[in-house]
Structure formats: C-alpha cells, structure tokens
Copies of this chain bind each other. A is one copy, B any other.
C-alpha cells in the first residue's frame, strides 16, 4: 500500500487527508504544513474519527517537508490560512520535492494549479506523466450532479467529460454525453442544455469537498483500485509537433502506478474542436 504525503494542511489539505483515510487506500498519510501545530491537529482529528468510520490508515502531521521523503504519492494542496500553493513558492516546493521525493507521483489538488503544472513540466525535468492536477474531475462531478438534477436522476447515470481550461475555455463534448445509456441530447432539449452549460461554468472553482473527492479518485487509480477515466490537468506532449506551443489543460486520462498512462482524445464537433484548440493555445 501507498505512502502519501499531503503538502499543506489548509481546508483543502485536511479534506484530502480525510477523503483518503476514509477509503483506506494508503498505509500512511503525512500531512505537512510549517504552520505550528495545525497539521498535527488535523491528523489527530481525523484519526479520532477512525473508530467510527472504520479505517486503518496511519495519520501524522508534521512541519518539515523532509518528512515527505519516501512517499510514493505527493498531493499539493493549500497552506493553512494561506490558500493554495501558488507562484514562486509553489515552484520552489516542486524543486524540493524533486529532490526529497524524486520517485513520487505528484497530484496537484487545487483549482488554481493548472499553471503550476505547466511551469513544473515546462521548466523542470519532471515528466508530464508524473505531475498533473485532479481539479477538473471535481468540475466534471459538479457537471454530472447538475445534469442529474435537471432530470431528477442520479449523477451516477450521467456520463460526460470536461476538457479545456475552465472557467473561460471549458469544453464539454455534449454529443457524447449520456444519461443512463441514452444520448443526453435526446433527453434534454437544446435551450435547457445551454442553461446547464452556463451553470456548470459557474461551478468553477470547485470547493474543498469536491476537490478532495477528485484527489481520492486519482489516488485509487494510481494504487490500482480503480481503472476509471478522469478529467485531469495534463501538460502537452512536447515530443509532438503541436505540443511545443500547447498549454496545459483538462483532458480525459487514465491513471495507473506510472501516473498518466493514456490521454483519450475525443472526437469533437467542429465548434468544440475550435473551442478546445483555443483553450489549449493551438
């Protein structure tokens, strides 16, 4: 079983730790935050819930990033009281992780982390398969929940993906979306579908519970407990011609113990194709 380190014990970091512990997907979770006793307090809080929730994962909270060494999966979240890791601080963090946890897969949990992934893969020698972001899946979850609501149905029955760069360049391949095995476009009329699209866009950025659920799904895939496809922020493949100038964006991917192992390229309508190319700067 995996050893997971979560960098940042803010609201998101705590929610991620809880979501992972509940699923018993890791042997141990280390919550790292240099702000005093906050990481230790959250780890203890979650550990106290273990007897009721019935999980066995070990939890610890520490202040020192070097404790993340040995983790097979590192989650970048938010610092207590200081928001998601961003800018130069975040890049410096990535550099430290490249030393202390060089073999780890790095999952960026935050809605703002698209840029961090772009710079990390672009400026540092980090493989695009091993540095990606799970936030788009949280938006996809919201999209499924809203779509289900429109039909008074279950989100589990709604199948759709979210691509591009939300919120300004969100691309949803509507022609492929289904509800309970039937084309969505047959069950929801066009004006309702357009209203739905607008409301989905307004869901960005997702909140900590939704972001944490998306991280947990990614970790289950990495740990071999699920083979589901997910919407993730991934960097373009630099070895391909078009990849050289493309932006990091949300794509539908498959994850396993090696990280991103497949990017599923959709067949889009002409309009969707243009929108996606614009989103990705192609």
Contact = CB atoms under 8 A, between A and B. Distances in A.
Interface of A: 1, 14, 18, 22, 24, 27, 41-42, 44-54, 56, 137-142, 144-145, 148, 152-161, 173, 175-183, 186-187, 203, 206-210, 212-214, 216-217, 223-229, 252, 254, 264, 266-267
A227 B54 contact: no
Contact of A224 (B1, B182, B209): B1
Given A207-B45, A227-B148, A178 B177 contact: yes
Contacts of A207: 41-42, 44-46, 48
B137 A252 contact: no
A46 B209 contact: yes
Given A52-B213, A154-B56, A225-B1, A159 B181 contact: yes
Given A45-B207, A175-B183, A207-B45, A213 B53 contact: yes
B182 A264 contact: yes
Contact of A52 (B48, B158, B217): B217
A214 B173 contact: no
A45 B209 contact: yes
19 contacts: A1-B224, A1-B225, A18-B209, A44-B207, A45-B208, A45-B210, A46-B207, A46-B210, A48-B207, A49-B210, A52-B137, A52-B217, A53-B213, A157-B227, A159-B181, A160-B181, A173-B181, A182-B252, A186-B267
A170 to B, nearest CB: 14
A145 B56 contact: no
Contacts of A208: 45
Contact of A141 (B50, B139, B157, B177): B50
A161 B145 contact: no
A80 B180 CA distance: 35
Contact of A176 (B42, B178, B254): B178
Given A56-B225, A148-B227, A181-B252, 12 more contacts: A41-B207, A48-B141, A48-B207, A48-B210, A50-B145, A51-B158, A140-B181, A157-B159, A157-B227, A159-B178, A161-B180, A176-B181
Given A45-B208, A223-B1, A51 B156 contact: yes
Nearest 9 CB-CB pairings of A with B: A45-B207, A161-B181, A180-B229, A48-B210, A48-B142, A51-B155, A49-B213, A52-B213, A159-B159
A138 B212 CA distance: 23
A51 B144 contact: yes
A16 to B, nearest CB: 12
